[in-house]
Amino acid sequence: MTTSAPASPFDLSGHRAIVTGASRGIGAAMAAALAQAGADVALVARGDCSATVAAVEAHGRRALVIRCDLGQDDAPATVMGAVTKAWGGADILVNNAGLIRRAPLLEFTDDAWDEILNVNLRACFRLARRFAAALVAEGKPGKIINVASLLSFQGGIRVVSYTAAKSGLLGLTRAMANELAPLKINVNALAPGYIATDNTAALRADPVRHNAILERIPAGRWGEAADLGGATVFLASSAANYVHGIVLPVDGGWLAR
């Protein structure tokens, strides 16, 4: 007599995820990891998602592309409406989309400040609120994963709006977790370290900054977008059912120095 092995707590089969900023970089890697674990993935982005679609489908899962500017007021309705129409809803949300603008503090413009706070903080709150409301209305559990930053803990240089937004997202994650945990919705965050993406291209192109950063990373290398995959699957899975309000650094040991 044989018995089937118990399902892995990291198995996401039957789950449907939304990943914002999914056209490239960290978002694309997160989407691919969730698909590899078994989830169908809705890809929210302004750019071309064809490569991410291919990665999701290569794992035998469905990909839904939602063209959307998350800075617009109608974005949450657009995203949730599309997912509900296609799949009846979703139970995993990854708030990854974000922008960065670099300039000295005394030259930083109001428009640049407002743009970053709008996309990196306000849009995350509004989409998460709509996503959670849909789950609560149906009495279903779910997972929200916000993408914070090392600058949720540190000040940084020439990135005042980004630091403010990511620091706010850390507080938002904890506040949301306090209210949503009793409703069986887990809210947590990831804090990527220095990852080789478009957002860090300027730093990697500067030999002085590149070397200074690299020398501080105990792992001895810049991170790759794929390094976020395992942590994303963990926080999205039943393995994290009793994990609420944490921020998990994936930083090669940067914060330990």
Which residue out of 131, 162, 234, 254 is catalytically annotated? Answer: 162
**Which residues are CB-contacts of 243 (< 8 A; sequence separation ≥ 6)?**
186, 188, 235
**Which residues are CB-contacts of 151 (< 8 A; sequence separation ≥ 6)?**
159, 162, 163, 166, 167
Amino acid at 97: A
Q: Is 162 an active-site residue?
A: yes
- CA-wise closest residue to 42 among 69, 67, 73, 75: 67
Catalytic residue IDs: 162
